[in-house]
Structure formats: structure tokens, C-alpha cells
Chains A and B, each alone.
Chain A
Amino acid sequence: MEAIIQQFFNLAIMERALPLILSGLKQTILICVLVIPLGLAGGLACAILSLSRLRIARWAAVAGIDFFRAIPPLVLLIFIYAGLPFAGLRPSPMTAVAIAFFLNTSSYYGEIYRAGIESVGQGQWDAARSTGLRGYQTLAYIVLPQAVRNVLPDLVSNTVEVVKLTSIASVVALPELLYSADMARSVTFNSSPIVLAAAIYLVMLWPIVRLISRLERRVAA
């Protein structure tokens, strides 16, 4: 018992690792602030393309969404970080992370938006268009507000997945939360920093997970 506490819940070591871990947390938050809006915007673009009247646009959107949903995000990130230099581009870790997450999360958000848009009945389009509103106006004022409300739990849920996924940035040596905690572990030969990092993820995400349950109940009602 004593050994377990020493190895995993060592408060002295946690305290020593804290500054490093907090700087990691800052990087994690920075990644989130960058990639979540990028993904939400990219996803919306994908959804609109996939509903386009132009067959080629629909086809491109579906192909893109399928491709980037099928590719493991870790593979995508390593390819961009380690592969692009062969094409003469040398992205910084943050740039590589932003590109990989943009491609990966846009496709997921895109599918969610698409389901939301399809959940709004044709009658809403008919009514709005019959008053002279243009297609994009109908989308912006009538369909999207209802669509987003209908799929809000899924959007938030996916955002939680994105936050958790930011830990893969550690493989390109971006010193985010997990990377910092792992560094602290290797210096102290003690797992307590990892436990601390896990606790921080939990504290960040648990309220959001609760929120999703409440949103789901509201949408179902």
C-alpha cells in the first residue's frame, strides 16, 4: 500500500512537477483554442459542400470526410510532421498539430452538422424560400440555428474527444499536458505526475460530460 502511494500519489513529487505540468496545460489549452474553432468552421464548410447542388462538390466533400475519418489521427499527424519536410515544407509542431486536427476534426464535425441540417424539415426551407430568402440566408437564419440545437450534444461530445485527442501532440514533441507529465515522470522515476495530469483532464472534462447528459435530456424532451 505504502509503495503504491509512493509511486502514484506522491504529493511531494506532484508539487515539484506542478510548474512543468501547468505549462503543459497551457499548451493543451492553446491547442484546443486553435483547433476547436478550426474544426467547427471546417466541419460547417464540409457539411454545406456535402449538401450542395453541384455533384462534384458533394462528391469531394463526401470523399474528404470519409478519408479523414478513416485515417488514424496519429498516423495523419506523424505524416504531416515527418512527411512534409520531404516536400520541402517544415511545419513547426504546432502547425503540424493544427493541420492534422483541422483535417481530422472537420470531418467529424462535418458529419454532425450534416445530420443536424437534415433533421430540419423541408417545410422550413419551403417557407423561407417562399418569402424570397436566398438559400444561404435560409441556411443561416432558419436551418442552422435549429440544426445546431438538435445536434448540440453531439457537437459538445465531439469537442470532448478533440480535447482528449490533443495528447497525441506529444509525439511531435509539443510540450502539452501529457508530454510535460511524461517528462516529469522520466526525471523523477515516479508515476505521480501522470496521475496529476489525468486528474487535470478529469477536472476539465467531467463538467462538460455532465453538461452533455443534460443537453441530451433537453433535446429528447
Chain B
Amino acid sequence: MTTGTPPILEIRGLRKKFHDVEILRGIDLLVLPQELVFVIGPSGAGKSTLLRCCNRLEEPSAGSVQVGGVDITARSTDINAMRRQIGMVFQSFNLYPHMTALRNVTLALVKVLRKPRAEAERLGMAALDRVGLANKARSYPGELSGGQQQRVAIARALALEPKVMLFDEPTSALDPELVGSVLNVMRELKRGGMTMLVVSHEMRFARDAADRVIFMDHGLIVEEGPPQRIFSTPSEARTRAFIAELGR
């Protein structure tokens, strides 16, 4: 990758142990500005844990994670201030069911960024507009389809203007016909220059949108490279076996 531009996300020697099981066994990963990095691998490889360590939803056992040059694992770092710069989108959407779509988006603007309500609503509407759901601002999550809920969740993260966005299997809980709408939003984000780290198995999307694909297994990065190479001519046997399995 190019040198010179400082990475947005810099992971060094990241390890995570749950009780006696080591889920991450030393991950090194740089994500450059505007890059879309895809993470694939079998379940249990540690992909979700890797993402959750990037905003300290999980506490890393060792190693460091820097976002925009700030070590978020350092004791002196205000993690809540850092988290609003790290957007996260979850497999199960996790919208707040007792709030409208707009309130879902504006809550952190008001309570974390201390924006006045009127400005928060303006920013919230703009974020909903970016995901094509300005007309659903007054709807509750229960009234929205899965795809719409996930797009509201993206807007919720987007409204805080994060430096990087983490996607944890954003389409795996969706019916097939709703996947496209969410991927389109992610494509738009990519076009707008958003830096993204995505755990997903949407291979077609990875082929045409990802800058790099990382294959993880048993808590380690097995290999990485441009999507064409990883998907067509992977160098590791484990990667080959996994890709073959996915393609079936």
C-alpha cells in the first residue's frame, strides 16, 4: 500500500483472550484514509472480536489500536470521545425500539456532541437523507423493514461524522431482496470517501468495492491482498478452501 499517508486505523499486536481461549492471537492491520477493507473468514476466526476491539466494546488483552493517531487503549484516552469518531454498524441493527428513526439518529448528537435540538434534527435528517430514508424519520424501528432498519443504523453512526466505520456482518440478518439497498448505501459511503472496515461475506460487493480483502482464521490474519487476487488466486490453502466453500 502507499506509504506517507498516515493510517486512520492502526492495529498492532492485538490479542484478545476470553477466559483461557485466545480469540485474537496477534493482529497487525493498517487501514488508510478512504480505504474499504473487507474481512472474511470462517465463524470463530475472531472477525467480530477484531471489530469490537477497535472501539473497545471488547477490551483488548494486549497490543494497541490507534484511531487517527490516538491510542484508544491508553488509560488517558477518553474512550467516549473516541467512540463517536468510530461508527459501528451491527448485524442485528440494534436500533432503539422506543424511539423514532430520527430520534435514533439524533440522540448521540444531543447527548454526546451537545448539539441544540434544532441543529441535531437538521443533521439527523441529512443523515437519513443520505441513506434514502428521510421520509421514514417519524417511523419506529418496528414499522421498518430489516433493510430500512439497517440503513437507519448506518445513518445513526454517520451523523456523528466518524473518521472510520466498522461494519459487523451488516447484511447477514437481512432477507436476500433487502441486501442490495444496504450495499448501495455502503457503496455511496465509499464514493464519498469514508474509511471502512467491513466484516462480511458479500463476495460480489467485495470484488467491486473493496480495496483489500483480509482472510482471518483462528485469530490470525492468514493472507491479504486485492479482492481479485484473494478470490481468484489465493496463495494459502486455507483461504482457497474457504473461498471454495463460500462459492458453493
Contact = CB atoms under 8 A, between A and B. Distances in A.
Given A123-B90, A130-B88, A142 B96 contact: yes
A161 interface: no
A131 B153 contact: no
Contacts of A129: 57, 83
Interface string B158-170: 0010000000000
B74 interface: no
Given A126-B57, A127-B153, A133 B94 contact: no
Nearest to A137: B111
Contacts, number: 62
Interface string B93-121: 01111100000000110011000000000
Contact of A127 (B84, B86, B94, B112): B94
Interface string B56-98: 0100000000000000000000001111101110101011111
B97 A131 contact: no
B156 A131 contact: yes
Contact of A141 (B90, B95, B111, B153): B111
Chain A binding surface, main DSSP class: helix
Contacts of B94: 121, 123-124, 126-127
A79 to B, nearest CB: 42
Contact of A131 (B52, B92, B98, B108): B108
B140 to A, nearest CB: 13
Contacts of A145: 98
Contacts of A126: 52, 57, 88, 90, 94
A18 B25 CA distance: 78
B157 interface: yes
Nearest to B83: A132
Interface of B: 52, 55, 57, 80-84, 86-88, 90, 92, 94-98, 107-108, 111-112, 153, 156-157, 160
Given A131-B156, A132-B84, 12 more contacts: A126-B94, A127-B153, A128-B108, A130-B57, A130-B86, A132-B82, A132-B83, A132-B108, A133-B108, A134-B80, A141-B111, A149-B98
17 contacts: A126-B52, A127-B96, A127-B156, A128-B108, A129-B57, A130-B86, A131-B107, A131-B157, A132-B80, A132-B81, A132-B82, A132-B108, A132-B112, A133-B80, A133-B111, A141-B111, A142-B96
